Chain A
Amino acid sequence: MIVRDILDEALQAMGANRLRTALTMLGMIIGVGAVVLMLAIGQGAQAMVSESIAAMGSNLFIVLSGSSTSGGVRMGGGTGPTLTANDAQAIGELPDVAAVAPIFPNNAQLIYGSNNWTTMVAGTTPAVFEVRDWYPVAGTMFTEADVRSSARVILLGQTVARNLFGDEDPVGQTVRVKNSPFLVMGVLGPKGQSLDGRDQDDTALVPLTTAQRQLFGNPFPGMIRFMMVKARSREAMPHVERDMADLLRQRHRIRPGQDDDFTIRNLTQLAQTAAGTTRAMSMMLGAIASVSLLVGGIGIMNIMLVSVTERTREIGIRMAIGARRRDILLQFLVEALVISLAGSLVGAALGFFGAWLASRLAGMPVVVTLWSVLLAFGVAAAVGVFFGFYPARKAAQLRPIEALRYQ
């Protein structure tokens, strides 16, 4: 028998009982549809996380100053006056440190014309652009000279620019921050949400000294809240972390046995953990969806077993006129395979449609990759062969006289 003849036999048998065939296919449709959809959602989440990681910048540490104590009340990390711009500079000279950006943030109201917007204004140095891989899309960045001269210049995040200026071009305009006029040098590129859901574009950058001396005042000269440190490579991160701790303990004159007055956080590690969690979640989604594929496969086996029993006499007739066991085996196997592949074709289409709906209506990030579709088809084919084989073998091993006598 040639392939086309076997296919014809399978289609004829499927056509003879359309409702049953359709219901059997439905199991595969739901299974494959669920797998494609779940993989799309899982991969969408993964893509969003890796985007956030890329947006945050890579190989990052955040070094927070220790907590301050005010009348016995410990104020929490970043409130103590332990870290200074000089610490940042010293860390910048350590080997394998690519850049250090000291940050001195505070909330402030920005006013432009009749619009106002309260946001976090961060005093920092030009190193922040490299550390966070974050550059202006309009205008220019401020320079070391601006930091030295405490220039009243400001860079706006996308959210701030939109809220203050709407469609107007902010570059070259003047905004008022705490009643001081600041020249808008540029607008930063969009960063989107951070991993914990904060809007990273809702911020403005000013030179560090401007923030320290003019905007927010500072009881301790040179104090910063935290600094962001970028290592040259991921491999260098562990020793950069040790070097920084040693250096800061030495600079802060902390004796052995005393606690650090600063905290170092490895942001990249946090990000990797987040990525790992997402990956695990998307695998779990896929695994749950695979269960329905398995159930669909069992449905095929069930129906094929019923079909073999119903068609025992037909099998006997075919054997009497010369069908070999292999012919019977192939006939039923191909039937199961056609059902599972046709079902998975419809299922994949429905999965796509579901993914499209999820992204369109629910705003979920979805990613449909070729390999997820190929995977679904491969699994469906395997399901067809695996669950079709037992009934087909049962048919092929019938004895012709008994099959012929079957009523």
Chain B
Amino acid sequence: MAPPLIQAVDLVKHYAFGEGEALPVLHGLNFAIAAGEFVAIMGPSGSGKSTLMNILGCLDVPTAGHYLLNGTDTAELGVDELAELRNQLLGFVFQGFNLLPRKNVEENVALPLLYAGVGRAERQAVAARMLERVGLANRTKHRPNQLSGGQQQRVAIARALANSPKLILADEPTGNLDTHTSEEIMALFEDLNRNQGLTLVLVTHEPDVARHAQRLIHIVDGRIAGDGPVDEVLGAQAA
């Protein structure tokens, strides 16, 4: 069997504050995610799911334990190596979209390619292709503030896809959207997972959103409270 795309081994994270004091956030998590999975991570606020997301996204490193992404132990990497890893393997979708307001849609989507050292012409071509895939082929020259929230999130998804990543990390991607638009965005995610074989990890606190995934990891107080098919875990929670 091929090694999993993501492997967390005894993942521990403390936040240091003051003299020698530390706030423990994650208490030794163990899980693995294989390529092609669509996983939702759920938990109440303060449960540590954002901290876990930061570690999965290589924006932060664990205090103890190991996080292996595509077989690479991130604990051994420096700041710039983590940046390269994010650039080549990961795509981020944030709750607040996080598009650069001064750049037009096409430039926003092409930005990861800029840091990958891709030439101008190819950047434009790729950006156009990605925007077509998320259904915004006719909005390339618009500024983010000229678009609706749903459209902005589609641009963010196109940007996450630009570098052909192995994994998309979405942090409350529908948190700022109405129900209808949320459904559209989730349908897009499902499509990308099913038809493009993209691995998706999604953090949410809404069961309705989590239901779009195949697997659910439920985190409470920095520990895994449930891990399995979405309906089972949600059922166990309800019971």
Contact = CB atoms under 8 A, between A and B. Distances in A.
A257 interface: no
A134 to B, nearest CB: 69
A324 B78 CA distance: 11
A325 B82 CA distance: 11
Interface in B86-122: 86-88, 92, 94, 98-100, 102-103, 111-112, 114-117, 120
Nearest to B162: A321
B60 interface: yes
B159 interface: yes
Interface in B8-54: 54
A326 B114 contact: no
Interface of B: 54, 57, 59-60, 79-80, 83-84, 86-88, 92, 94, 98-100, 102-103, 111-112, 114-117, 120, 159, 163
Q: Is the interface of A mostly helix, strand, loop or mixed?
A: helix
Interface residues of A, number: 24
B83 A324 contact: yes
Given A12-B103, A16-B102, A404-B98, A320 B59 contact: yes
B117 to A, nearest CB: 7
B92 A324 contact: no
21 contacts: A2-B117, A5-B120, A316-B98, A317-B100, A318-B111, A320-B59, A321-B115, A322-B83, A322-B84, A322-B86, A322-B88, A322-B116, A322-B163, A323-B83, A323-B115, A324-B79, A324-B80, A325-B79, A326-B80, A327-B115, A401-B59
A401 B60 contact: yes
A320 B57 contact: yes
B59 A404 contact: yes
A62 interface: no
A313 interface: yes
A314 interface: yes
Interface in A256-304: none
A97 B102 CA distance: 79
Interface in A362-407: 400-401, 404
Nearest to A316: B98
Contacts of A321: 86-87, 92, 111-112, 115, 159
Q: Which of A4, A320, A322 has the most CB of B within 10 A?
A: A322
A108 interface: no
Nearest to A1: B114
Nearest to B103: A12
Contact of B115 (A1, A4, A401): A1
A300 B117 CA distance: 29
Contacts of B112: 321-322
Contacts of B163: 322
A319 interface: yes
B122 to A, nearest CB: 13
A13 interface: yes
B210 to A, nearest CB: 23
A151 B208 CA distance: 124
Contacts of B111: 318, 321
Contacts of A2: 117
B115 A324 contact: yes
Given A12-B102, A317-B98, A320-B57, 10 more contacts: A1-B117, A317-B99, A318-B100, A320-B59, A322-B116, A322-B163, A323-B83, A324-B84, A401-B54, A404-B94
B53 to A, nearest CB: 10
In the A-B complex, the 6 residue pairs with the smallest Cβ-Cβ separation, listed nearest first, are A322-B87, A322-B115, A324-B80, A321-B112, A324-B83, A400-B59
